[in-house]
Every structure is written in structure tokens, then in C-alpha cells.
Amino acid sequence: MTQATHSHELAGAPTERPLICIQGLGFVGSAMAVAVADARSEHGEPCFDVIGVDLATPDGRAKVDAINGGRLPVAANDERLERALAAAHERGNLTATTDERVYERAAVTVVDVPLDVIQDNGHATVVLDDLRAAIRTLASRMPSGSLIVVETTVPPGTTEKLIVPEVAEALQERGLPPDAIGVAYSYERVMPGASYFDSIVDMPRSYAGHTAAAADACQAFLSKLIDVDAHPLTRLASTTACETAKVLENSYRATLIAFMEEWGRFAEEIGIDLHEVISTIRRRPTHSNMRRPGFGVGGYCLTKDPLLAGIGAHKFYGRTDLSFPFSTLAVEVNRAMPLVSLRKVEEMLPAGLDGATILLMGVSYREDVADTRYSPSETLVREARRHGATVQCHDPLVRYWDELQMPVERDLPPLAGIDAVIFAVPHDCYRTLDLPSWLGEARPVVLDSFDVLTPEQRSLLVRAGCQVASIGRGSHF
């Protein structure tokens, strides 16, 4: 397979560079668009022209307008990503549109559309209609010799059982052979935060093609985007194996996090510091990635990906007898983790939650990012309100919490009238708080839910007369 190359215009300038389209401009797609636009030849010239494509909805148009204005459409905290976007905007090799006709000139389209896990009569499943429509759009428009690279995390079997047949059917309608457009799968490891950009270009990649030619084309594309000398690519035997790698990778991590929950309760009850215990265990190389007890698991991946293997086994292979008890339990345990913190605060407050005012420090799903999707803080806020508490929220990066439709304080709020403070997200700025000045005359109960505060900060709070507790630590720490 040879990637299609067509002369086209981007930002008003004729160019012979291959055109790469990014389908979907969310947290993965928008950063991927910048990374592809930043890819350079050995002579320092841009390798590609890039057009990000989103739906003609208010949200999609807002993302397109942001890219065309030289802004990232999602919140970020990565200077390298911002510099790369500014440079691409100035060069003119990155634009965005809602016009699907641009796919007719694409050598490669990278698919970054969302795929949510939903509950249907108590069973986890996915609705594949939007993904199917997205693929049909590409197969109906992209030129012969082009390549579709799917990055969306999907149930194992999706590429072989759904995407490839969808492409073949659309190509047949066009009078083209079923392999006229190649199909490959290569999952992303995008991590919003300070290393947002690095998590694309300086991260090992696995990939697979439905055909050998598609795999070769995917390898050629990724090799221009990623530093393959430092981070070699790994070709897997099938797209299903590659899909499974992504699902298993995230299931493994989610299960390790859930495993630490029971040890956190144990440490709290017998009066030891589990964080100290884990730190010494991590010195053993085979255990260096050991997780810690904390506030909860959030984000778009770990909260749902462990369920995808079971969904794929059922949808694509008819194997309802296959179960994944560890992965399923991990999701359930992680989903309930914020409630452990809430119960601790309830026990610390003399009158319980009803009528109490809680200040929640951190609403994003992880430190130093502004992403609130599936944040464990949302679980805590909803449950605290259900028990009659008022919750005020602070986050240094989040101005408005879309999921709860509420503003978030970015300046440190006064503690007058606050009954309890929960440190939920280990943003760097929390470790440098001037606690004596902030406390003033207030003496709220304080819960460190995720090893946010330093030992000195916790000690200072205790000396000031605050009741202090931590997730994963006995009461005297």
C-alpha cells in the first residue's frame, strides 16, 4: 500500500506534503493533531499538513475555532505542547474544520472519537453507532491507497469484526476492492499534564495492521511522529492483539490501585503509615510501580477500560460465559473510593455531614491537569450533598466544572465557616501552602486523602489544633 498524496491548500498556501486528518478533537485528538503537525524531516521541515475534524455541533465548532485561533481546545498544563501549537499555527500546517470533504485528500486519518461504556439493565456495554458512522464517513471519502489508524480504545475484536467490514462495505459501494483503504490499530498513551506532548512523541508504541501492507503504512507514519530510536515501535500479530494490549494495560493498573484499598484500611486501623511502607517496597526494582491508597480513580481510561474485554467477548465472539471478576471488581472498588474519604470526614465532624460545609481541594481527576471527566471528586460532592452538606470547591486549574455545572474557586478561599477540608488531588501548589496564614482563627478538621500534604504540613496543622487524618495512615501520623 502506498499512502495517497495529493496537492492541496492549507492556510492558503499550496503544498505537496501528505495531508493527515485527525477525526475527533478531544483530549487525545487535539494533542495528536499538534504532535503530527510538529513532526519534522531530517532537514527540519514539517513532514505533514494536518487538519483536525470534528462534528458540526456547538462543541465541535468551538474546538475547531480554538485550533484555528492557535489555542488548544482542551485545558492543558504543558509548555512544550503550547509551543508546538503556536509554531504549527504560525507555519500554517495545522488547521481544523467540520467539513468532512477534507477526508477526500487525506493520506492518513487518525480516529480519536470517544467510545463510552454504559450500563444496560445492569450490564456494561458500549454503543458502537457513532464509531460505525465515523468509520463509514472515512471509508466513503478517503482516496484509494490511504490509511485509517484507529487510536480509540475499543473492545478487543472491534477493528476486525466491525471496522474492517464497515470499510469494505463502503468501498464496495464505491466500486473499489476491500483493501483499497488500509486499516491499522495503534493505541495512544496520552497523559494530560506537564508531559502531555511527551506522552505522544516520546512514548513506546504498539501497532498492528489488518493486512501487512496496512501495518507497514502505519509503521511508516508513526516513525515520522515518534522518536523511534529511543522508543522503538512494536508490531503485534493482529489488531485484536493490539486492542487487547491497551485494555489489559489499563486493567492491570486499575486493579493494582483497587488492591491497595484494603491495605489502606488495614494501615489506618493498626496505626502505621502505608505510604512509608510502599516507599520502601518500591526500592525493589520488580515492585517499583506499586500503587498507593488514595482518594479515587478518574479520567476517561481506568474508569471504564477494565470492562471492555468482557464487552468484546460478548459482542464480537458470543462468549457470555467468559467473565473478568478481578477487572470488574477493580472498577467497583475504585468507583467507591471517594466515599471512604467522605465517611472519614463524617466521623471526624461532631454533628456529621448534615449542615456541614466542606472545602474540597482539587476537582480534576489527577494532579496538575484540568480534566474533570469521571473525576472521583464528582462522586464525593454528589454524595456529600445527598447527606445535607454544602461543598465548596477549589482547584488551581479548573475555573468551571462542566459535569456539575458549577464555578470552581481558583484563588484560595478563606476558611471562615468551613467545617472540614479534604485534600483530594495532589496539585503541586498544595504542598507549598502557607497554612498558618490561611488558617487564621479557623480550625476545621482536615483529611489528607491522597498523600497531598507534606509531613511538616500535617504536623503544623496538628500543632495548630486541627483534627487531622489521612487515607492510608494511622491517626498519629
Instruction: Give CA–CA dist 289/299, Å, rounded.
Output: 19
What pLDDT is attached to residue 13?
A: 55
End-to-end CA distance of the chain: 62
This prediction's pTM: 0.92
Question: Where on the phi/psi map is residue 55: left (φ > 0), alpha (ψ -120 to 50), or beta?
Answer: beta
> Cβ contacts of residue 469 below 8 Å, gap of 6+?
344, 348, 445, 446, 447, 448, 475
The percent of residues in the chain predicted with pLDDT above 90, rounded, is: 90
Q: Is the pLDDT at 424 greater than 90, yes or no?
A: yes
User: Using alpha carbons only, what angle is made at residue 191 by residues 426 and 34, rounded to the nearest 5 degrees?
Assistant: 130
What pLDDT is attached to residue 2?
A: 52
Question: Where on the phi/psi map is residue 226: left (φ > 0), alpha (ψ -120 to 50), or beta?
Answer: beta
Instruction: Give CA–CA dist 346/393, Å, rounded.
Output: 18
What average pLDDT does this structure show over 301-328? Answer: 96
Amino acid 474 reads G
Place of cell 469494505: 168
Could you tell me if 110 and 200 are in contact, meaning their C-beta atoms sit under 8 angstroms apart? no
CATH topology agreement for domains 8-236 and 255-470: yes
Q: If you ran DSSP here, which 8-state letter would residue 286 be given?
A: G
Angle between helices 325-348 and 376-386 (to 10 degrees): 50
Q: Is the pLDDT at 12 greater than 60, yes or no?
A: no
Domain ranges, ordered by start, for the chain: 8-236, 255-470
Q: What is the grid cell recorded at 394?
A: 477549589
Question: What is the CATH number assigned to the segment(s) 255-470?
Answer: 3.40.50.720
> Cβ contacts of residue 83 below 8 Å, gap of 6+?
none
Question: What is the CATH number assigned to the segment(s) 8-236?
Answer: 3.40.50.720
**For 385-423, what is each residue's pLDDT tens digit?**
999 999 999 999 999 999 999 999 999 999 999 999 999
Place of cell 492543558: 76
**For 316-360, what is each residue's pLDDT tens digit?**
999 999 999 999 999 999 999 999 999 999 999 999 999 999 999
In DSSP terms, which residues pair with 183 in a beta bridge?
148
Q: Is the pLDDT at 285 greater than 60, yes or no?
A: yes
What pLDDT is attached to residue 1?
A: 52
What mean pLDDT is reported for the chain?
94
Q: Which residues of 277-319 form beta strands (DSSP E)? A: none
What pLDDT is attached to residue 15?
A: 73
> Cβ contacts of residue 265 below 8 Å, gap of 6+?
340
DSSP 3-state percent helix, strand, coil across the chain (nearest 5): 40, 15, 40
**43-64 exposure pattern, b = at least 16 Cβ within 10 A, e = fewer:** eeebbbbbbbbbbeeeebeebb
Question: pLDDT band at residue 131, thresholds of 50, 70 and 90?
Answer: very high
Tell me if residue 195 falls in helix, strand or coil: coil
Question: pLDDT band at residue 76, thresholds of 50, 70 and 90?
Answer: confident
**For 140-185, what is each residue's pLDDT tens digit?**
999 999 999 999 999 999 999 999 999 999 999 999 999 999 999 9
